[in-house]
Every structure is written in C-alpha cells, then in structure tokens.
Amino acid sequence: MRTNLGPTVNLDFLDGYLFRMLQEIAEARGLEDSGLLSYYGVRIEQKIGGLIEYEERLARYLLASFPGRRVVHAGIGIGTLTCALACNGMTVAGIESMPQRVESARQIRAAIVGIWPEVGDRYEIIEGFYPEALAGSAWLDSNAILIFTNVGAGWNDVVLDSVIQSMPRFEEVFLDLRLFGSVRERDEDRTVLFKRIAASAKWAEKLPHVATGVHLARFVFA
C-alpha cells in the first residue's frame, strides 16, 4: 500500500515562501539571467504568489489522489510545482533544459531542503531534455506518474513522436492539451492530440474540474 511519507507542508505557507524566493532570485540575478523571464516575472509584478492557481489545484489533486507516488515532471521551470509535491510526500524527478532555470530550481531546492531536510531524498533535478535525460535511469518506472504542465516550446514532429512513444513506460500521464509541445488554441486540435495519445492508453479522460482554464487530461497505461 502506498502512503504519504510527509512532512506535510501547508500549500498556502509554501506559496508565500516560494514567492519570497522568486523575489530574491529576481533581485540578485535579474529575470533573464535567472531564467524567470516574463513567465515568473508576472507573478512577482502582480504579486500572484509562488504557485499560480493551476499549480496549486493540480498539486492538491495529485496529493489527494496519488499520495506518496513517484513522479516525473518534464519541464519544471524553476520547480514550484515539484516543490509542492516533494514537500508533501511524493518522490519527484524534475527535468528542465534551460540552464538558467536549472540553477534557480536548484537554489530553491537547497532552500527548501534547508528547512525540511527530508525533502532532499525525495526531490531530484535533472538537466536536459525529456525523454533523453532519463536514458538508463530508474525514473523510467512503470509505477510512476509522468506530468507535463506548461510545455509550449514548439517541438517538431520527431520530438513529439518520441515523447508520446515514451508514455507507456509510465503508469499514468497528466498533461495540458493546450500547452504540450506547441500551443493548441482550437478545441479541434486539442481533441486530435487527446485521441492520438488515448489510442495507446487503457483509459483516458479530460479533467476540466481540476483547474479552470487549463485543459488537463489523464492517460492510464498500466
């Protein structure tokens, strides 16, 4: 039986702590050199917080539905969602290709581990591109969950095929149909992607209730 190993970190508290870390990183290294860019800069400027709404709601959903699980999060940015999961009992590998964001993610991880040392054994940051970054890794786990959140980087067909073909190596996959390899504004395009991945899954469903304005989908492979 899988159990949540703790410690339990209140997400409202973590949101504030991460927001302060964003501010400190931006002040010390600037938005560009830190990899924060406008994506995180908006959180600072508008005082949104360390976790935006969809990250918090997805974290609550995963923690409630899959406590204590192993998670691979491809494209973590600076790792705000991965921190929320690891601080609450999940064992997480966060993959990020942008060196500046990797440095910021590691700075945040170090600060989190300084407060909650147990998290150090549950949160690994891997620099590189998914799925190549996991080649030969124990993270390719048929009992693990694979997550993509905001990945609108403009993959070519070869990369997209490689990513989709890797999915059956995991038990479940969660992704944003709108922001997966490219931006899909039309519902027709999101449906095509959903059906393509669902064709090789045992079960697939859309999750509109998890986060407003985000086109989350779940695919079960094992």
What does the pLDDT look like over 109-118, one tens digit per residue? 999 999 999 9
State what percent of residues in the chain have pLDDT above 70: 97
Distance, in Å, from the CA atom of 96 to the CA atom of 78, rounded to the nearest integer, reads 8
CA 124 and chain centroid, separation: 13
Q: Which CATH number fits domain 51-220: 3.40.50.150, 1.20.1630.10, 3.40.50.2300, 3.40.50.300?
A: 3.40.50.150
Question: Do β-strands 203-206 and 172-176 pair in parallel, antiparallel, or remain unpaired?
Answer: unpaired
Identity of residue 113? V
Residue 182 DSSP class: S
The predicted pLDDT at position 12 comes to 94
pLDDT tens digits for 13-35? Answer: 999 999 999 999 999 999 999 99
Mean pLDDT of 134-141: 92
Find the mean pLDDT for residues 157-179.
Answer: 97
Q: Average pLDDT over the chain, rounded to whole?
A: 94
Is residue 6 very low, low, confident or very high in pLDDT (cuts 50, 70, 90)? Answer: very low
Q: Where are the domains of the chain?
A: 51-220
Give me the pLDDT at residue 213, please. Answer: 87
The alpha helices in 34-174, defined as continuous H runs, are 37-45, 53-65, 80-86, 99-115, 157-166
Kind of pairing between the strands at 145-148 and 70-74: parallel
Nearest to 5 by CA among 65, 81, 87, 108: 87
Question: For residue range 34-79, what is the model confidence (pLDDT) as tens digits?
Answer: 999 999 999 999 999 999 999 999 999 999 999 999 999 999 999 9
Residue 222, token pair as written in the block = 């094992």
pTM of the full predicted structure?
Answer: 0.94
C-alpha 203/C-alpha 56 separation (Å) is 25
Q: Which two tokens stand for residue 192?
A: 């095509």
Q: How far is CA 165 from CA 27, 83, 140, 218, in A?
A: 41, 27, 13, 16
Report the alpha-carbon distance of residue 207 to residue 40 in Å, rounded. Answer: 25
How many CA atoms lie within 13 Å of 213's alpha carbon, on the beta-carbon side? 5
Q: Identify the pLDDT of residue 19.
A: 98
Q: Are 51 and 87 in contact (CB under 8 A)?
A: no
